[in-house]
């Protein structure tokens, strides 16, 4: 049957925007402080999952909710043994500061929709859902079942999708609409490395508190520190000179007697592309390290402010490895925290190619401690590099569909970002950013271009129809 996928998408654009706005309005940030047996990750992720499944049930689809952690929508022949999976997520990153509009009150302009999750990943996920609607409405014949699966913890530990693969059979192949076109058939490994110590002082200047970063996979856009010094006036003046010498950042220093509160504003971006941001925390540490701190405060600030500062490839730690296929390693210093009398904490996030191991990365971080008596350790859920050959039929088919619909060059590529696509042996990421699309994932004022979302619906509908029927 011949289908005009773009025309079918145009018929459903208004409904798509209505449903997307409803989903974006749910503040689906993981909050362990509000976790309950019914909402294991807090109320937001659960509510977003229930909202998505309710939309599908309204439209007559078969759905399943697994422990309020993950759920799916299914189409295709119920007696088919195999199924294809489309993996998305309804959780979002914390909004952060500096938004021009309420991040959970979606704003639709002539060309974009603005809200946290618009591009990562509620917009693309809803685009995949409307592709399902087109296939269902037109009764497109499918050889296999297809599941559109929504996780609730992609931005943290992948709890929901891990649960899914524990209790459900694996798909034969599939894709995640959570990256960019033309396709992502390779993803670097992903590992967190932690440094922890008791937070002590000992010099004439005291570090009371230092904080930067909301998540390990975000470049900190704001850093704050509280310092006590008898030379407050001179320290504030030095900070103004530091800001003038670094116009790529901004900040403030407010003194009250011997107390100074520092703020640095950098540029918050996705942790997979730290080179595009400005890490507010390492800038602040770079300034503070020059003063008479002692104890672990001195080690903490020196480590952040020298080897970890302005190095997004791990060069100063000797781990700046590059693979011919997967490209270079990247390094983000995501969370930085010091509370006097409690804990000093640094969280690194590395995206690494084939050819280097997490143990080698940890060893590299240990080379620059300069007497700081701590041991870097691996934390979180480490992920090994993932790669699907360009000759795999799923890669070839998705690239052909993309080229047929857009007329743009279609080629395979590897990224530092991690998507659910890597959970499948023959899994890839496919859209929804186009090569010329602005990327605002994990940034303030996140948005998605409406035309990009509409184009994605049409591409996904044709792509699902074709890969589901592959031999």
Pairwise CA distance, residues 433 & 413, whole Å: 14
Sign of CA dihedral 104, 106, 107, 113: positive
Helix-helix angle 280-288:232-245, to 10 degrees: 130
Look up 154 and say whether it is catalytic: yes
Letter string b/e over residues 9-41, b meaning 16 or more CB atoms within 10 A of that residue's CB: beebeeebbebbbebbbbbbbbeeeeeeeebbb
DSSP string, 32-78: GGG--SSSBTBHHHHHHHHHHHHHHHHTT-EEEEETTTEEEEEES-T
Helix-helix angle 13-24:43-58, to 10 degrees: 160
* DSSP-assigned beta bridge partners for residue 323: 327
Question: Annotated catalytic residue: which of 120, 154, 211, 311?
Answer: 154
Look up 100 and say whether it is catalytic: no
Torsion of CA 278, 282, 284, 287, to 10 degrees: -110
Q: Are 247 and 207 in contact (CB under 8 A)?
A: no
In eight-state DSSP terms, residue 436 is: T
In eight-state DSSP terms, residue 170 is: P
Contacts of 95 (CB under 8 A, 6+ apart): 29, 103, 104, 116, 444
Pairwise CA distance, residues 77 & 199, whole Å: 60
**CA nearest to 334, candidates 280, 407, 294:** 280
Pairwise CA distance, residues 133 & 9, whole Å: 10
Question: Annotated catalytic residue: which of 8, 19, 27, 91?
Answer: 91
The residue count for the chain: 471
In eight-state DSSP terms, residue 423 is: G
Pairwise CA distance, residues 283 & 242, whole Å: 10
Pairwise CA distance, residues 269 & 360, whole Å: 26
In eight-state DSSP terms, residue 269 is: -
Catalytically annotated residues: 91, 154
């Amino acid at each position: 049957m011949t289908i005009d996928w773009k025309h079918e998408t145009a018929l459903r654009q208004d409904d798509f925007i209505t449903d997307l706005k409803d989903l974006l309005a749910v503040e689906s940030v993981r909050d362990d402080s509000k976790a309950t047996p019914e909402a294991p990750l807090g109320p937001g992720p659960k509510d977003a999952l229930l909202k998505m499944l309710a939309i599908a049930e309204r439209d007559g689809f078969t759905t399943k909710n697994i422990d309020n952690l993950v759920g799916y929508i299914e189409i295709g022949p119920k007696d088919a043994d195999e199924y294809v999976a489309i993996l998305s997520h309804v959780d979002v990153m914390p909004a952060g500061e500096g938004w021009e509009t309420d991040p959970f009150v979606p704003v639709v302009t002539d060309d974009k929709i603005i809200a946290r999750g618009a591009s990562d990943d509620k917009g693309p996920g809803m685009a995949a859902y409307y592709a399902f609607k087109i296939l269902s409405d037109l009764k497109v014949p499918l050889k296999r079942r297809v599941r559109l699966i929504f996780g609730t913890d992609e931005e943290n530990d992948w709890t929901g999708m891990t649960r899914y693969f524990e209790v459900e059979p694996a798909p034969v192949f599939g894709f995640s609409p959570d990256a960019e076109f033309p396709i992502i058939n390779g993803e670097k490994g992903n590992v967190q490395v932690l440094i922890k110590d008791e937070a002590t002082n000992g010099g004439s200047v005291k570090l009371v508190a230092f904080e930067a970063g909301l998540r390990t996979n975000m470049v900190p856009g704001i850093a704050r520190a509280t310092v006590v010094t008898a030379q407050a006036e001179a320290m504030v003046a030095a900070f103004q000179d530091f800001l003038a010498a670094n116009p790529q950042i901004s900040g403030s220093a407010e003194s009250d007697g011997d107390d100074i509160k520092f703020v640095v504003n950098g540029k918050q971006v996705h942790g997979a592309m730290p080179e595009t941001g400005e890490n507010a925390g390492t800038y602040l540490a770079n300034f503070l390290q020059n003063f008479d701190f002692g104890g672990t405060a001195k080690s903490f600030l020196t480590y952040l402010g020298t080897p970890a500062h302005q190095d997004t490839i791990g060069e100063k730690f000797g781990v700046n490895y590059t693979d011919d296929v997967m490209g270079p390693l990247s390094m983000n210093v995501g969370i930085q925290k010091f509370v006097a009398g409690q804990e000093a904490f640094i969280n690194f996030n590395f995206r690494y190619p084939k050819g280097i191991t997490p143990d080698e990365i940890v060893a590299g971080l240990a080379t620059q401690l300069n007497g700081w008596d701590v041991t870097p350790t691996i934390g979180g859920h480490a992920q090994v590099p993932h790669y699907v050959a360009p000759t795999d039929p799923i890669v070839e088919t998705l690239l052909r569909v993309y080229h047929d619909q857009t007329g743009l060059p279609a080629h395979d590529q590897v990224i530092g970002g991690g998507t659910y696509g890597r959970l499948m042996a023959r899994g890839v990421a496919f859209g929804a950013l186009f090569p010329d699309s602005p990327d605002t994932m994990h940034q303030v004022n996140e948005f998605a271009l409406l035309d990009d979302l509409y184009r994605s619906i049409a591409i996904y509908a044709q792509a699902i129809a074709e890969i589901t029927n592959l031999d």
